[in-house]
Amino acid sequence: MGAHTLLQDCKPPTEEQLANNPFLIKLNDMLEPERLLFVTGDTTIYYGEQIGKTEPTANTIGLALTDKQGDTVGAVFYTPNSKSKPIVIDPTGYGAIVIGEPNKANEMIAFNDLDSGIDVYSYLMGSDKTIIVSPHKTKQCLKKMVQHWSSGSQVIVPMTLDDKGLINLLAGVRAQALVTVAHIVTMLQNDSYEAILADSDTQLINLQDTAYYPEWRDDPQLNEPMIYSDGRFELYHDGLFFVKYNDDDPANITFKFKAFVCSPIEVIAKTRDTSSVHGDGYCSGAMMTAYCIHGQYRYHYCKVMQGNTAVSLPVKA
């Protein structure tokens, strides 16, 4: 038993078996023949901790999940006109519903929900775009899918300006984020895909060039972190910490170690530049003298001289 046997001997659904379900009818019309299949029996889980468990897939509509090679790795089962969640059987976590030609040369547009995938494909049908959809509806499985498929094709992940968390999640992945002012489906109602890409408000971000450091505490940092040696200085309301991360995999940076440095030091200083706006600036503050490392007139970090010791500190200028 395995993924290749999940929909074995199943046949395409009849109109009666689709039960006038608008979603399934639309999907059936859009996909290639015999992609949707009527499942007559229940399915036994064949992997992981739930091996041997039976899923109630009888009288559902099944759709195979594939990997980037086109091999079946799982299936998703829909019950017509039911509010229950689809049953997903996918031991890989990266299996995708593929809409369009599965050509590696095509641009893959990735989604976390099938409705958006269907709508976008209806606008781009016949183009060199292929839609891939993660059926799990979890961000972690979306990331797995994007990681898997981007190793062989160009993958675009549409999102809006409000999806900063998704950008952080996909940081380091070999894909691009297409950031638009409105949902991509809404944008396509009025503009072509090419026009959306050319819009001045659209951002195309190379996710591989970004890095997301996990939050190891709930409260926000008071300044941007300062990278130093093999770690970062991070300033919080209760102190300055030197924090190290496991960053061997840029797509999966994890917290490693923290060390308390000192209580918060806020330097309020006047600044001047004796050479140019790009030269070294000088800060003067009570009880100490400091010179700035970065900036022009607003400085984020200062190296504070306390006796003969130089300490790099975040500064609110």
* Fold classified for 93-210: Dna Topoisomerase Vi A Subunit; Chain: A, domain 2 (3.40.1360)
Q: What confidence tens digit (pLDDT) does each residue in 201-233 have?
A: 999 999 988 777 777 887 878 877 888 888 888
- Nearest-angstrom CA–CA distance, 153 and 106: 7
What pLDDT does residue 230 have?
A: 81
**Which DSSP string do the residues of 83-128 spell out, in sequence order?**
-SPPEEE-SSS--BEEES---TTSEEEEESSHHHHHHHHHHHTTSS
Mean pLDDT check: name the lowest of 84-93, 166-175, 245-254, 304-313: 304-313
Q: What tokens appear for 296 in the block?
A: 């022009």
- The per-residue pLDDT for 251 is 64
> Looking at residues 112-127, what average pLDDT do you find?
93
Instruction: Tell me the H-state helices in the chain.
Output: 15-18, 22-30, 114-124, 139-150, 164-169, 184-188, 193-198
Percent of the chain with pLDDT over 70: 82
> pLDDT tens, 132-177?
999 999 989 999 999 999 998 999 999 998 887 788 788 889 999 9
- Residue ranges, comma separated, of all CATH 3.40.1360 domains in the chain are 93-210
- Which range (4-13, 78-87, 190-199, 226-235) has the least confidence? 226-235
3-state secondary structure of 143: helix
Say if CB 196 and CB 177 are below 8 A apart. no
Q: Which two tokens stand for residue 75?
A: 């299936």
- Block residue for tokens 């490693």: 256
- In this structure, what token pair is assigned to residue 50? 């739930």
